[in-house]
Amino acid sequence: MKIDRLMGIVIYLLNHGRTSAQKLAEEFEVSSRTIVRDLESLDQAGIPIQSFHGSEGGYQIMDGYVWEKQAATKQDYDWIIAALKGMVSAYTNKHLEQILAKLKSLNDAETLPISLDLGAARENEQVNDRLRLLEDAILNEQIVQFSYINSHDERKELQVEPVRLQYQWYNWYLIGYYEKHQGYCMFKLVRMEHLEITDQKITNIHDPASIKLKNDTNNSIHIVLHGKAAIRSKCREYLNGRITKEYENGDFEFSFTVPEHETFWYGVLLSFGNQARVIKPRKIKERILQTCKEIQRIYGKEG
Q: Which H, E and C letters describe 40-109, residue by residue?
A: HHHHHCCCCEEEECCCCCEEEECCCCCCCCCCCCHHHHHHHHHHHHHHHHHCCCHHHHHHHHHHHHHCCC
Work out the pLDDT band at 279, boundaries 50, 70, 90.
Answer: very high
pLDDT at 69 over 60: no
Topology annotation, domain 220-300: Alpha-Beta Plaits (3.30.70)
Residues 216-260: pLDDT tens digits?
555 789 999 999 999 999 999 999 899 999 999 999 999 999 988
Residues 194 and 147: beta-carbon distance below 8 Å: yes
Work out the pLDDT band at 143, boundaries 50, 70, 90.
Answer: very high
Q: What is the mean pLDDT of residues 57-76?
A: 76
Instruction: Check residues 230 and 182 and name the one with the higher pLDDT.
Output: 230
Would the pTM of this model clear 0.75, i.e. be above it? no
The pLDDT of residue 302 is 65
pLDDT at 176 over 80: yes
Of 291, 280, 278, 259, which Cα lies nearest the Cα of 151?
Answer: 259
Work out the pLDDT band at 293, boundaries 50, 70, 90.
Answer: very high
The pLDDT of residue 155 is 94
Residues 185 and 215: beta-carbon distance below 8 Å: yes
Q: Identify each DSSP E strand in the chain by its residue range.
A: 49-52, 58-61, 142-149, 155-168, 171-178, 183-188, 192-201, 220-227, 242-246, 252-259, 276-280
The pLDDT of residue 212 is 80
Rounded mean pLDDT of the chain?
A: 87
The pLDDT of residue 65 is 77
Phi, psi of 262 (to 5 degrees): -85, 160
The pLDDT of residue 199 is 96
Gyration radius from the chain CA atoms = 26
The pLDDT of residue 90 is 84
Residues 26-47: pLDDT tens digits?
999 999 999 999 999 998 888 8
Q: What is the mean pLDDT of residues 134-151?
A: 94
Residues 252 and 239: beta-carbon distance below 8 Å: no
- Minimum mean pLDDT range among 6-10, 48-52, 108-112, 215-219: 215-219
Q: Which amino acid is at 168?
A: Q
Give the rounded distance of the alpha carbon of 167 from its chain centre: 7
Of 222, 230, 237, which Cα lies nearest the Cα of 268?
Answer: 237
Instruction: Check residues 4 and 142 and name the one with the higher pLDDT.
Output: 142
The pLDDT of residue 275 is 97
The pLDDT of residue 131 is 92
pLDDT at 303 over 60: no
Calpha distance 186→177 (Å, rounded): 9
Helix (H) or strand (E) holding 137: helix 125-140
Of 172, 31, 23, 36, which Cα lies nearest the Cα of 91?
Answer: 172
Tally of residues, the chain: 303
Calpha distance 268→286 (Å, rounded): 16
Calpha distance 89→98 (Å, rounded): 14
Percent of residues, the chain, with pLDDT higher than 70: 92
Residues 192 and 147: beta-carbon distance below 8 Å: yes
Q: What is the mean pLDDT of residues 70-86?
A: 79
Q: Which amino acid is at 28?
A: F
Domain residue limits, the chain:
2-61, 74-121, 125-217, 220-300
Q: What is the mean pLDDT of residues 171-191?
A: 90
The pLDDT of residue 251 is 97
Question: For the domain with range 125-217, which CATH number is right: 2.30.30, 2.60.40, 3.40.1710, 1.20.140?
Answer: 2.30.30
Residues 220 and 260: beta-carbon distance below 8 Å: yes
67-104 burial, b if ≥16 CB within 10 A, otherwise e? eeeeeeeeeebbeebeebbbbbbbbebeeeeebbeebe
Instruction: Check residues 84 and 152 and name the one with the higher pLDDT.
Output: 84
Topology annotation, domain 2-61: Arc Repressor Mutant, subunit A (1.10.10)
Of 189, 169, 179, 183, which Cα lies nearest the Cα of 212?
Answer: 183
The pLDDT of residue 123 is 65
Residues 245 and 251: beta-carbon distance below 8 Å: no
Residues 92-129: pLDDT tens digits?
788 888 888 877 776 666 677 888 888 877 767 788 89
Calpha distance 246→254 (Å, rounded): 9
pLDDT at 200 over 70: yes
